[in-house]
Amino acid sequence: MKMALVAARAALEEDDWVVEPSRAADQRLRTRWKPIRNFIFRRLSGNAFGRCFVNMQPLPGDSVLVTFQAGLATRRDIEHSPVKALADDSYATAARDWQRAVRELLAGRPRERKPDR
């Protein structure tokens, strides 16, 4: 489980997330709030911030159940806004990218650093 946690943390940090200290650091990761920089999303929702939560649960053998969740905070209610679909799609893409990064790190494959934005 330790290797999975290290890979999960590295994948978050590669995407410029700052992981907060935690009492349950051997099973959970939580990032600090980070501004959402997508121009269209910000234009429609105002200032927005996101954060990530990763939970690890050991399974029989060498397996680990990894749960990835994200939180989104905006001043405006976006629940019934068209921007909600954009947020959901962005979340799904980011979660898939993070999963891919974790798998590549665990497999020992070299990863390219994303270009600075």
What are 89-102's pLDDT values in tens digits? 888 999 999 999 99
Element (H, E) at 19: none
What are 20-64's pLDDT values in tens digits? 988 876 799 999 999 988 888 888 888 889 999 999 999 998 889
Element (H, E) at 3: helix 2-14
The CA distance from 32 to 3, in Å, is: 22
The structural domains of the chain, ordered by start, are: 2-98 (3.30.310)
